[in-house]
Amino acid sequence: MQIVAFVTQKGGAGKSTLASNVAVAAHQAGERVFVCDLDPLQSLVKWSRARKASDIPAEHMSAEKFEPALLRLASEGVTLVVVDTPASDTAQADAAIRAADFCVIPARPNALDIWASEVTLAKVRASGKSFAFLLNQCPPAQQSARVERGAQALEEMGALLAPMVSTRVDYQEAVRLGLGVVELNPKGVAAREMAKLWASIGDRLRDRALTAAGEKDRTARSPYQDLFDQAVKASGVYADFVNAFLQFGRPKATPPADADDAPPERRRHIS
C-alpha cells in the first residue's frame, strides 16, 4: 500500500481539490483508493457524501487514529491512500508526513504560497520523505519560454511535478458534485492535467518501491530532496523559475504620458 500526502501550511493552495481529483484519477487507473481526511474542516468527507458512491471511501480521523487506520486499510487490500491535511502546523500534518511514501507540496504562483511552502519543505526534509512541489491555480495561458524551461529543468530534477495545474471551472464543479474532473469532463483540459498528474505521482511511487525493494541501483539516482538541494545551491534554478513565474502575466509598467502628448480630456488632470 502506498501513501500520498498533500501538505502545506498555507490555506487556499488547493490541497483538498487536488487530493480528490488525484484519488479519482488513480481509481480510474486501477488503484483501490481510500481517502484519509485529517483536516478538521472535513472537506473530503463532504465531497465523498456528494459523490453518493462507495468506490472511493473517505473518512475523517484524528492524528491518534491515523496510523492504526493505515494498518487496517493495508489488511483490507487498499493499494493507495490519499491524505488531505489542515492548512497549519498541526499534529495531523505531522502524522501525514511521517506516514507518507510521497509528499506533494502544492503552491499557488504567488509569493505568500512560495514562502509557506519553504516552511513545509523544511519539515518534510527533516522527516527524510520524498517530495515534490506542485504549482496549482496557474493562469490558463501559454507560459513564457523562460518559465517552460525552468519547469522542465525542475521536473527532470524531481523537484516539481508535472503538469502545472491551471485555474479552471471544471475543478470547482467537480468538487461540488463529488466527482473528479476526469469524470465530469473526460475530454477537457483539466481532465488531461489530472491524468498526467496521477501518472507523475505514480512514477514517483514506483521508483520509490523499486528502490526500497533493492531492485534499483541506489547510486543511479539521488533522492529527490538531494537533487533539489543541488538545484538550489548550484544553480538557483528553482528561485529563478519562481521569479520568472511570478513575473508572468504582470502588466508591464508604462511611463506616464507627457502633458503635451496627453489627449485633451487628460490634460486637465495633468496640468
Average pLDDT over residues 160-170: 90
- Per-residue pLDDT at 265: 44
| pLDDT-wise least confident of 24-33, 208-217, 262-271 | 262-271
What CATH number does residue 114 fall under? 3.40.50.300
Residue 89: per-residue pLDDT: 76
Describe the chain by its helix, strand, coil percentages, rounded to 5: 50, 10, 35
pLDDT for position 142: 59
pLDDT exceeding 90 applies to what percent of the chain? 51
Domain that holds residue 180: 2-270
Q: What is the pLDDT of residue 81?
A: 98
Contact 27, 55 (CB under 8 A): yes
Cell 545551491, located at residue: 233
Model confidence pLDDT, tens digit, residues 117-160: 878 888 898 998 999 889 898 877 656 666 666 666 667 666 78
pLDDT of residue 148: 66
Cβ(155)–Cβ(196) below 8 Å: no
Look up the pTM and report it: 0.79
Which residue would you say has higher pLDDT here, 218 or 183?
183
Residue 2 pLDDT greater than 50, yes or no: yes
Q: d(Cα 267, Cα 271) in Å, to the nearest integer?
A: 6
Cα 79 to Cα 96: distance, rounded to the nearest angstrom: 17
The number of domains in the chain is: 1
Residue-level pLDDT at 240: 63
